[in-house]
Structure 1
Amino acid sequence: MIISNVYRPTVLGCQADDRLTEVARRMAEEQVGALAVFDGAYVVGIITERDLVRAMATAHAPADESAAAYASTRVETAGLNEDSQRVARRMLDAGIRHLPVVDDERMVGMVSMRDLLALEAWTS
């Protein structure tokens, strides 16, 4: 199956200079484990629940920290027409649980390991 049949077609994110409290509130509100981090219209990172935990454990004043300070900046992406099994393998190999989905280099949504696991459960 291709990613366009699996991913969540909603772009959820924050700006690089957003405070971590705002990032955490947005994740809780949207019930997601990761947000794309934007600098204007460009994705410059991904921030996850694990990144927020790391900030809480290491920052002197986590509420004053920006999303960019704790986001992962090596951003892997998946294309709409990529095979879901290949995307799952790439995610496993890279140790990541969330992947932005792009169409013509523009983010159109996100796919998570949970999405891919649900697909596997329903198709086997």
Structure 2
Amino acid sequence: MPALRELMSIDLISVPPTATVAEAAQVMSLQHIGAALVVEGEDLVGIFTERDIVRALAAEHDAATHDVREWMTKDPVTLDADVSAQETLALMLAKGFRHVPVTQAGQLVGIVSMRDLTIR
């Protein structure tokens, strides 16, 4: 199976941790993505997904006033760009992930989704 570097998206869409749930949802909708990376400075501090939006709304929180930092997955699991698609798929299935940030030499270089792994 191919390595993540061959399957990942290199178009990194990010929001700051201070973005509101509504702002992040708008970015995700406009970009047609299911997850946004949460970046502070140059550091990946979280990942914010469609599931997080649903959790925030289900808790009856105002999406316009609550920050993504309250709902994001902090310090998300990352995988190296050389990891195989097979290993990645196994991890994602075991952990219930639909998106995983990809790094190379400790630097964020992409993101891979379950869809990326299953349509190729």
TM-score (norm 2): 0.94
**1:73 maps to which residue?**
74
Which whole-Å CA distance do the structure 2 matches of 1:86 and 1:99 have between them?
12
Contact 1:4/1:80, CA 8 A, preserved across alignment? yes
CA RMSD across the alignment: 1.0
1:19 aligns with 2:25: no
**2:113 maps to which residue?**
112
TM-score (norm 1): 0.91
Bigger shift: residues 52-61 or 10-19: 52-61
Q: How does 1:1-124 map to 2 (within 5 A)?
A: 1-119=2-120
Contact 1:12/1:109, CA 8 A, preserved across alignment? no
**% identical equivalent positions:** 31
**1:122 maps to which residue?**
none
Contact 2:44/2:75, CA 8 A, preserved across alignment? no
Which whole-Å CA distance do the structure 1 matches of 2:61 and 2:32 have between them?
27
Which whole-Å CA distance do the structure 1 matches of 2:24 and 2:61 have between them?
17
State the secondary structure of the residue aligned to 2:119.
helix
Deviating beyond 6 angstroms after TM superposition, the runs of 4 or more aligned structure 1 residues are none
Q: Per residue, is there more helix in 1 or in 2? A: 1
What's the CA shift for 1:104? 1.3
Question: Which blocks of at least 5 consecutive residues in structure 1 are unaligned?
Answer: 120-124
Which whole-Å CA distance do the structure 1 matches of 2:61 and 2:44 have between them?
27
Matching residue's letter, 1:44: V
Aligned length: 119
Structure 1, residues 55-97: CA drift from partner, whole Å, max 9, x if none? Answer: 1111432210001110011411121111110011011111100
